[in-house]
Amino acid sequence: MSYRTHWCASVARVEADSRVRVAGWVHRRRDHGGLVFIDLRDRTGLVQLVFDPEHHEEAHRKAHDLRGEYVISAIGVVKGRGEDRVNPDMVTGSIEIVVEDLELLAVSDTPPFAPEDRVEVDENLRLKYRYVDLRRDRMLGNLVLRDGVTRTARRYLSDEGFLDIETPILTKSTPEGARDFLVPSRLQPGEFYALPQSPQLFKQLLMVSGVERYYQLARAFRDEDLRADRQPEHTQIDLEMSFVQEEDIITTVEGMMAAIFREGLEVETPTPYPRMSYAEAMLRYGTDKPDVRFGMEITDVSRIVADVDFKVFATAVEKGGAVRGLVVPGGARFSRKDVDDLAEIASKYGAKGIAPVWVEEDGIRSPISKFIHSGTMGELRTEMSAKTGDMLLFVADSVEVVEASLGALRLNLAERLGLEREGWCFLWITDPPMFERDTEGRLKAMHHPFTRPRVEDAEELRKDPESVGTIAYDLVLNGVELGSGSMRISETWLQETVFEVLGLDKEEIRAKFGFLVEAMKYGAPPHGGMALGLDRLVMLMAGEGSIREVIAFPKTQSGSCPLTDAPSRITAEQLRELRLRAIQ
């Protein structure tokens, strides 16, 4: 006989006096005189079981032995509750099951914490006993939401003519920005596979293969420092299209996202989504993933302060940097201590300090006012539309430092001031630069070296690479980057030129990317695509602050798994088989 005929929540739709069988975990037990009440929990929710000794003595006796998280199956008759006993907090709150027979399927030790949302638990303990943690309504709800998102994405892309194709997990190490996870090969001693940072090269090869439309719920791996929205392994909704322009890809992604929010949250997200260039985003918000649900935009005042006596400002402009600021509404009430706290935040992004200006009833107050003419101060106030009671904050440094520090201050201030950040605000960031400098001053691809640059010939690319833009686009939601995409390079000469600009010689190109360059010789169609972070998307939809809350078995911030104790040492015999030696 089956362990169940109905899920717990579905019993709410069953007619009174119907006989049902349910199965699940004992959520809680209550003894009320002769009657025993048990809330039974399965994946769908709770239903109340009633054990009455006057009618079913054996079942009642068994119920007395039950404890929290015991696994049971019960047969009984559905009855309506009296009006005074209806529980509006349960889907099944108007009915109960009067149990006729009970089967104990598994006992349980007392769990290390109660699997209830209201119980606060240390995260390491939650991860160590993740199978208990996932029994909580919130956590299970996150997995259900994630499942719905993936099903909607698959269905939408399938309907649009995409093929679901798997790409290799064991592949070749190629420089794509982050550090690779490496896997030693036993059969080829001294050689290594790499776990893919993305399926980028393989999905481009699929376009050369004539697949034309590919997608995959792809696993990707990056050996980098972790934070709230990063894990060493993650999942992305990966897609690629042939014979398309940028607009075709953007329209496809917008349609998919609209379907995901409509089906997952019953929310309409009107399309097309607004767009903003990379340069404009950096100028106005100090970041390429701006949260535009609130104002407090950054203003460039370099022109106004270029010749002031305040050397910090004048020198920054003279050296090719910038002076920019933002208005803090109501910030005139901020104390010197508050400003010091803000300066500490800015210092993390390289700023040597911040210059505050308080706009008060009787005029402007600032430690820099003695160096700046009152007329210039008035011009700054007018340029930034500051009102009495506001505070102006300025940073003067290299453009990169100014953008990063003011972008961080803007978000911190929004949190401090409790500025409204409700709703869903999608935004495309377009036209980023092709290249940027790393911390050592070397040229590197801003996204990856397969992104199509906006150039007409190789000479233009070599002459001034840092001025070259790309046909690329990032999708941002509420200040979080969901994913990046671009048109790809499909000509051998252009791909080789990009590699050369990045400092690779012909031998290195052949060793690292020879298979891609060779494939382009056999008829590569114009193509492009995108990858969207599934974990980040579900995190935002669920209202969580970390992707760990929407991943079944995540790692900690240090990249370890408390549940399995991974990573762990391997045996001396395993090391010998791989011809490796562990260095402590």
> pLDDT tens for residues 45-96?
999 999 999 889 999 999 999 999 999 999 999 999 988 889 988 999 999 9
State the pTM of this model.
0.93
Cβ-count burial 115-130 (b if 16+ within 10 Å, e if not) = beeeeebeeeebbbbb
Amino acid at 351: A
Q: Are 498 and 433 in a shared domain?
A: yes
Q: Are 410 and 440 in a shared domain?
A: no
Q: Are 24 and 79 in a shared domain?
A: yes
**Do residues 170 and 183 make contact, with C-beta atoms less than 8 angstroms apart?**
yes
Q: Establish if 462 belongs to a structural domain.
A: yes
Q: Establish if 126 belongs to a structural domain.
A: no
- For residues 362 and 170, the model is more confident at 170
Q: Are 493 and 540 in a shared domain?
A: yes
Q: Are 191 and 235 in a shared domain?
A: yes
**Do residues 81 and 96 make contact, with C-beta atoms less than 8 angstroms apart?**
yes
Examine the fold and report which residue of 60, 80, 106 is the final residue of a domain before the chain moves on.
106
The residues, ordered by sequence, that sit 6+ positions from 203 with a Cβ below 8 Å of its Cβ are: 167, 214, 216, 238, 239, 240, 529
Q: Are 416 and 377 in a shared domain?
A: yes
Give CA–CA dist 353/394, Å, rounded: 9
Half-sphere exposure of 490 (CA within 13 A, CB side): 22
Q: Are 195 and 92 in a shared domain?
A: no
Q: Are 32 and 84 in a shared domain?
A: yes
Question: Sign of dihedral through CA atoms 378, 384, 387, 390?
Answer: negative
Query: What pLDDT, on a 0 to 100 scale, did the predictor assign at position 457?
Result: 77
Q: Establish if 119 belongs to a structural domain.
A: no
Examine the fold and report which residue of 545, 564, 579 is the final residue of a domain before the chain moves on.
545
Q: Establish if 254 belongs to a structural domain.
A: yes
Query: What pLDDT, on a 0 to 100 scale, did the predictor assign at position 55?
Result: 86
Q: Are 407 and 304 in a shared domain?
A: yes
Q: What percent of the chain has pLDDT over 90?
A: 84
Q: Are 441 and 516 in a shared domain?
A: yes
pLDDT at residue 19 is higher than 80: yes
Per-residue pLDDT reduced to its tens digit, 288-313: 999 999 999 999 999 999 999 999 99
DSSP states of 110-148 = PPSS---TTS---HHHHHHTHHHHTTSHHHHHHHHHHHH
Q: Are 298 and 406 in a shared domain?
A: yes
- Token output for 458: 């190789």
Average pLDDT over residues 499-520: 92
Average pLDDT over residues 166-175: 90
**C-alpha pair distances (Å), 20 with each of 37, 71, 138, 350, 387:** 17, 17, 27, 66, 68
Q: Are 409 and 433 in a shared domain?
A: no
The residues, ordered by sequence, that sit 6+ positions from 501 with a Cβ below 8 Å of its Cβ are: 435, 443, 461, 462, 465
Per-residue pLDDT reduced to its tens digit, 536-573: 999 999 999 999 999 999 999 888 999 999 999 999 99
* Confidence label for 228 from pLDDT (cuts 50, 70 and 90): low
- Regarding beta strands 45-51 and 95-106, do their DSSP bridges make them parallel or antiparallel, or are they unpaired? parallel
Query: What pLDDT, on a 0 to 100 scale, did the predictor assign at position 230?
Result: 82
Q: Establish if 280 belongs to a structural domain.
A: no
- Could you tell me how far CA 465 lies from the centroid of its own chain? 31
Q: Establish if 140 belongs to a structural domain.
A: no
**Do residues 364 and 415 make contact, with C-beta atoms less than 8 angstroms apart?**
no
Number of domains in the chain: 3
Instruction: Say which CATH number the domain at 71 has.
Output: 2.40.50.140
The residues, ordered by sequence, that sit 6+ positions from 583 with a Cβ below 8 Å of its Cβ are: none
Examine the fold and report which residue of 420, 445, 468 is the final residue of a domain before the chain moves on.
420
Q: Establish if 570 belongs to a structural domain.
A: no
Instruction: Say which CATH number the domain at 317 has.
Output: 3.30.1360.30
Domain of residue 63, residue span:
9-106
Instruction: Say which CATH number the domain at 516 has.
Output: 3.30.930.10
Q: Establish if 575 belongs to a structural domain.
A: no
Compute the CA torsion angle 126, 131, 133, 138 (nearest 10 deg). 140
Query: What pLDDT, on a 0 to 100 scale, did the predictor assign at position 362?
Result: 84
